[in-house]
Amino acid sequence: MKGRKTNLEGANCGIARSLQIVGDWWTLLIVRDAFRGYQRFGEFQKNLGLAKNILSARLKKLVQEGIFTIEAHPDSPSSPRYVLTPKGEKLYTVLVALWQWGEENCFDLGELDTEMVDRIDGAPIRALQVKADDGRLLGPRDFRLASRPSPADA
Amino acid sequence: MKGRKTNLEGANCGIARSLQIVGDWWTLLIVRDAFRGYQRFGEFQKNLGLAKNILSARLKKLVQEGIFTIEAHPDSPSSPRYVLTPKGEKLYTVLVALWQWGEENCFDLGELDTEMVDRIDGAPIRALQVKADDGRLLGPRDFRLASRPSPADA
DNA sequence: TCGACAGGTTTCAAAATTAAACCGAGGCCT
DNA sequence: AGGCCTCGGTTTAATTTTGAAACCTGTCGA
């Protein structure tokens, strides 16, 4: 991420900014596991199978960025728990988008063995839809990235 | 991505699969630029400021994965154009999710200078919402990843 | 024919990732 | 109390990936 920093530091668009934080190999998988209920270092490490030093670095960054907070649990005071902040929890839309795209485009038939379901009734979740302000459905070519008038305009 | 391959190759969930393809530093930015209308190697390279060898490798992979196709344009037969496939175009939901999260969580006030708008009327786009099968709005804690019954079940 | 340019590939140094060894603080068992 | 185990990391050294810059090749226009 050497040149990346230089390039995207003053990134102009939200996509680039998001990717600065969650755009690497492991981060979104860590967040995914957090949604699954994992909280402890060892849980993430064992489940994802990534090197401990990398996990350590990622968690450190994610805490810095306000995605996780560290909470020391009364039960085992020496084992910190990594808990999603509201900012972190809002990433669920991104996860759902990735999940749906992956499920639709990246599996052979019968290969898929997990799915994201309604916690309450176990029913499937609707495909995300991009909609215009007035409710019209927008396809992949119906939007564009526009520059805002000027920084000092509003 | 050494260990990553080993770990996620037989990845069980759609999120992991997606990230195998688009989960690196540059790929989604390339796709973003493709939605902006960029098609040529030099356009991507100049706009993103990434090294040519890296861009070359990414585009090669993306073509392999069926995100882009190469089309030789009648105008300039020697300059290939990289064009999104339907599979690639479906990534727009992911981009929108990242964009909205980034816009909401990664900018200081007044810092944001681009926005994603309706191509037709320039109006803003609605925030993506995760909804249950029956239309209920689902928050970040209202879904879970469940294992499917069995690979050879349906 | 000359030079310029687009679209890469090659080369080599710098940075990130990895696995594995190590370490300190608690628990737990005896 | 002593010994051993686990958890949560850090350190170290080898491997991979990345990045910048040089280089190559085919096309184009003058």
Q: Would B125 be classed as within a structural domain?
A: no
Task: Give which of A19, A36, A55, A58 to mutate to test B binding, by max B Cβ within 10 Å.
Answer: A19
Q: How confident is the model at residue A30 (pLDDT cuts 50, 70, 90)?
A: very high
Q: What is the CA radius of gyration of chain A?
A: 18
Distance B152 CA to C27 C1' (A): 44
Q: Would B34 be classed as within a structural domain?
A: yes
Domain that holds residue A9: 2-89
Does the CB of B36 fall within 7 Å of any strand C atom? no
Mapping DSSP to helix (H, G, I), strand (E, B) and coil, where does residue B116 land?
A: strand
Does the CB of A96 fall within 7 Å of any strand C atom? no
Q: How confident is the model at residue B153 (pLDDT cuts 50, 70, 90)?
A: very low
Does the CB of B15 fall within 7 Å of any strand C atom? no
Q: What is the CA radius of gyration of chain B?
A: 18
Share of residues in chain B with pLDDT > 70 (%): 86
Asked whether the beta carbons of residue B143 and residue A96 sit closer than 8 angstroms, the reply is: yes
Q: Nearest to residue A93, comparing CAs of B135, B94, B123?
A: B94
Retrieve residue A69's tokens.
């907070």
pLDDT digits (tens, 9 = 90+) for A54-104: 999 999 999 999 999 999 866 666 789 999 999 999 999 999 999 999 999
Q: What sign results for the dihedral spanned by CA atoms A57, A63, A68, A72? A: positive
User: Domain with A23 in it: what CATH number?
Assistant: 1.10.10.10
Total domains present in chain B: 1
Set of chain B residues whose Cβ sits within 8 Å of the Cβ of A32: 13, 15-16, 145
Residue pair A6/B87 in contact (Cβ under 8 Å)? The answer is: no
Nearest nt to A60, CA vs C1'?
D9
Q: Would B68 be classed as within a structural domain?
A: yes
Q: How confident is the model at residue B140 (pLDDT cuts 50, 70, 90)?
A: confident
State chain B's mean pLDDT as an integer: 88
- Please, which residues have CB within 8 angstroms of residue B112's CB and are 6 or more apart in sequence? A14, A148, B103
Asked whether the beta carbons of residue A97 and residue B50 sit closer than 8 angstroms, the reply is: no
Q: Would B54 be classed as within a structural domain?
A: yes
pLDDT digits (tens, 9 = 90+) for B89-138: 999 999 999 999 999 999 998 888 778 899 999 999 999 999 999 999 99
**Chain A CB within 8 Å of residue B95 CB:** yes
Share of residues in chain A with pLDDT > 70 (%): 86
Q: Would B153 be classed as within a structural domain?
A: no
pLDDT value for A16: 94
Q: Would B145 be classed as within a structural domain?
A: no
